[in-house]
A and B are shown apart, each in its own frame.
Chain A
C-alpha cells in the first residue's frame, strides 16, 4: 500500500524584516478636541497622545499595506514570488469580500499566494505571527507575509469620547520564514467572547442599511477595557514569557499594542521589567492604529537604534473580541 506524502516540518522560524507605512496627515489634539469638548492637556493626560497620523483621502488601507510590505520584502532579501501566504490583519478593509490580502498579494508580486484577512482587531498582527510561525513550521509555506493595517479614520465619530480621538492609520508588515535557530516562541492567544461588546462598533452594517442606525463607528467601554488590558494581559504576557524560557532581563523590548499610554505604562509596571527593557511608546505621535500598532512600534525602535537586531522582544496584542495574542520574537 502506498503511503501519503506529508511535508517535513521546519524546526524554527523567525521574522526576517519589518516594513512600515503611516498616514500622511498629522492630526493634533487641538484638531480633535473641539467635538469632544476637550483640550490638548486633557487628551495628553488621559492617553499620552500628542499627535496621531491619519491617511489623507488619496491614501487607502491597501496603499499603506503595500508600502509596508514592499519595505519588508526588500529588507528580507527574498523574492516576493517565494511568499506562500499573505495574511492581512485588519478591521477596516471596506469590502466584506473579497479579502484585502488577495489584492495585496497581487500588488506586491506574491502572485498566486494563499491570501486571507483575519479579524482580531488590535490582536490581529500577533494572531498573524502565530499563524505564520505555524504555517512555516508545518511546511505549508516557505515564507509568509503578515500585515497589520488599518484605516481607522473611516470608522471614527469625531464626537465620540471613548476611543475615536485615540485612533490613527497605518500598516506594519513582517516576513516570517525558516530559521536555523528559534526566533518565535510559542504564542499564547485566546479570546473572551463574554465581553464581546466591550470594544466594537456602534451598530451593524445591516442596521445602517435599514436606516436604524448611523454609519457604524468604533466605540469602547474604556474603564472595563483598561482593567482587562492591564491586569488580564499582564497574566498573558507573563505566560508568553514563561513559554519562551526567557527571563524579563533577557528581553530588549516590550512592544504592546499601542492602545493608550496609561495602559502601556500600567502593564509595564505590572510586569516589573528591569530598566534595561525598552518599552515601545510609538503611540505618542502615531496614535492607536489597532492591528498596525505593534509592527509600527517595533519598526521604529529598530529604526531609531533603541534596540538591536538579534535581541528579544515580548509583543502582545489585545482588543476587540476581546481577543489577545502574545509571543516573544527575535528582533529582525
Chain B
C-alpha cells in the first residue's frame, strides 16, 4: 500500500538523519536540501539510494537534480509509489 505524504516525509527525515545527523524535525517540506539543510551532492545521492530501498521506488540520476526541496522528494516518491 502506498504511503501517505506524511509517512514518506517521516521516513525521509530518518534517512537524512542517518546520513547527516540533522534532526528529523528539521526536515520539513519547505526546506531546501542544499541551501537550508546544507546537504552536499554526495550525501544527497546516499539519501536517494537509501530512499529507493526504503520506499521501493526508482529515482533516476537525471531526476535527482530536480529534487531541490524536501517537498520535491516527498512528492516524487509518493507519485512513484502510486
When distances are taken between beta carbons in the complex, the residues of chain A under 8 Å from B40 are 45-46
Closest approach, in angstroms, between the C-beta of B72 and any C-beta of chain A?
Answer: 15
Q: Which chain A residues border B64 with CB–CB below 8 Å?
A: 223
**Cβ B46 vs Cβ A223 within 8 A:** no
Bound form: Cα–Cα A86–B64 in Å: 43
CB contacts (< 8 Å) of B45 on chain A: these are: 223, 226-227
Instruction: Tell me whether B42 is interfacial, beta carbon within 8 Å.
Output: yes
Asked if B61 and A46 sit within 8 Å, CB to CB, the answer is no
Interface pair A223/B44, CB less than 8 Å apart? yes
Instruction: Report Cα–Cα, A325/B61, bound state, in Å.
Output: 23
Tell me if A222 and B61 are in contact (CB < 8 A): no
Interface residues of B: mostly helix, strand, loop or mixed? Answer: helix
B-side interface size class: 10 to 19
Q: A223-B61, A223-B64 are in contact. Are A262 and B49 (CB under 8 A)?
A: no
CA A231 to CA B58, docked complex, whole Å: 14
Q: Tell me whether B41 and A231 are in contact (CB under 8 A).
A: no
**Chain B contacts of A262 at CB under 8 A?**
42
- A227 and B41 contact, CB distance less than 8 A: no
Interface-central residue, A45, A227, A230, A266, by most chain B CB under 10 Å: A227
Interface size class for chain A? 10 to 19
CB interface residues, A 195-240, toward B, < 8 Å: 221-224, 226-227, 230-231
The reply to whether B42 and A224 contact each other, CB–CB distance below 8 Å, is: no
CB contacts (< 8 Å) of A230 on chain B: these are 46, 49
B39-55 residues with Cβ-Cβ distance < 8 A to A are 40-42, 44-46, 48-49
**Which residues of B are found within 8 Å of A224, using beta-carbon distances?**
61
Q: Does A222 contact B42, Cβ atoms closer than 8 Å?
A: yes
Cross-chain contact B41 with A266 (CB below 8 angstroms): no
User: Do residues A223 and B49 form an inter-chain contact, with CB atoms below 8 A?
Assistant: no
Complex interface bits, A236-268 against B, C-beta within 8 A gives 1, otherwise 0? 000000000000000000000000101000100
CB proximity of B60 to chain A, nearest CB, Å: 10
Q: Once bound together, how far apart are the Cα atoms of A321 and B7, in whole Å?
A: 40
**Contacting A222 at CB < 8 Å: which of B41, B46, B48, B49?**
B41
Question: Can you name the residue of chain A whose Cβ is closest to the Cβ of B65?
Answer: A223
Q: Which interface residue of B44, B49, B61 has the most chain A CB atoms within 10 A?
A: B61
| B residues neighboring A (CB under 8 Å) | 40-42, 44-46, 48-49, 61, 64-65
Provide 7 A-B residue pairs closer than 8 Å at the C-beta atoms, listed in order of the A residue: A222-B42, A226-B41, A226-B45, A230-B49, A231-B49, A260-B42, A262-B42
